[in-house]
Amino acid sequence: MTVTDRRKSTDNGQTDDRIRLILVQMSAKFCLGLTKFGRPPNDFVFDAQMLSENEFNDLFENVVEIAMCIEVRNTMFRRIRFPKLQRWYSCNAGPALTVIGNPELTSIEFNKNVQFLNSHPNTQQPYMAIIRGNRNLLPESIQEIAAVFQSYRFIVPTEGECSSPGYVRDLAQLNCDAYYGDIVFGQNPIGDIPSSAGDVEGCVIIKDTLLTDIEFLRNFRFKTRDGCRNLIIGNKYLCISEELERHLRRHLDITIANNMHISCRELPPPGSHVPSLFESLTGEGTNLSCQSETRPTWLESRSNMMLEATVVIC
């Protein structure tokens, strides 16, 4: 028995994901114990996310030949094993193996004699595997992986590298030394400004947010991946200093547009004292025996470019 690509006619001609996921689940039941898995050439991508760690490893325990692509993304797997694998034909769609964003993963084990074969020889040699953003992958496992793929186009994983958190809703998510993937800021992130920065293989995207300050980005080192675009656009409360904009443009191919007008750079920094009309005329500070409430907020002050930022309520 083999697992092959099943296609369903759709308006855009793409594989029906529901059928693909059903095939993955069926394979765990009906393909257990097989020594050959798939038949080249095909476009089938096996999504491991549909299986438990034990189901996945049991399925490939005795397999000596694979002909498909396998993706292990965003799982809680601790180990991935291909102990008897001798030959792996990648699918027509991309790398034979993709392992990204599995925070508990510590090891990936191969038969040391495994050979990877390209199913699409008429195209530019693709990456044979992409193994990135698995924060707890052990150094010794990284060394073994590097040895397996030393004859192929392959980027050796970085120790401690995290998968990008995707939409950053809490700045506490930015707590790694290295990231793989784009960093996209949600509309109104909470949390403290990151105390440390890291290397990012991906793009920064800040679009239509309520952020007022992104000076902390200065310490991140971005390496843009193919196919992504760096964007800082449409953030109506965001005042970008001249120095930061110059820094970002020097290091990145980036679009910066439709944020606060550059005149905001002349405003005092957040939290500083804005003189009242009385102080401006007399040169004296106010010392009134009444309750003082700051209103509107700094965010509102900046957006409306208001002259009066303090309202005294007696």
Q: CA-CA distance, 294 to 314, in Å (whole number)? A: 13
Residues present in the chain in total: 314
State yes or no: pLDDT of 198 exceeds 70: yes
3 state SS of 270: coil
Confidence of residue 21 (pLDDT cuts 50, 70, 90): low
pLDDT in tens, 301-313: 444 443 333 333 3
- What is the model's pLDDT at position 194? 81
Quick one: tokens of 140? 């010794």
- What is the model's pLDDT at position 304? 45
State yes or no: pLDDT of 102 exceeds 80: yes
pLDDT in tens, 152-193: 989 999 899 999 877 899 888 888 889 999 999 988 888 888
Mean pLDDT of 237-256: 94
Q: What average pLDDT is seen over the chain?
A: 80
SS3 of 207-254: the string is ECCCCCCCHHHHHCEEECCCCCCEEEECCCCCCCCHHHHHHHHHHCCE
- Return the domain boundaries, the chain: 17-161, 164-265, 274-312
Confidence of residue 92 (pLDDT cuts 50, 70, 90): confident
- What is the model's pLDDT at position 127? 84
Query: Nearest CA to 67 among 101, 34, 108, 112?
Result: 34
Q: What is the pTM of this model?
A: 0.73
Report the CATH architecture of 17-161: Alpha-Beta Horseshoe (3.80)
Confidence of residue 259 (pLDDT cuts 50, 70, 90): very high
State yes or no: pLDDT of 97 exceeds 90: yes
Quick one: tokens of 212? 């007022």
Q: Which of 137-151, 173-187, 270-284 has the highest mean pLDDT?
A: 137-151
State yes or no: pLDDT of 15 exceeds 90: no
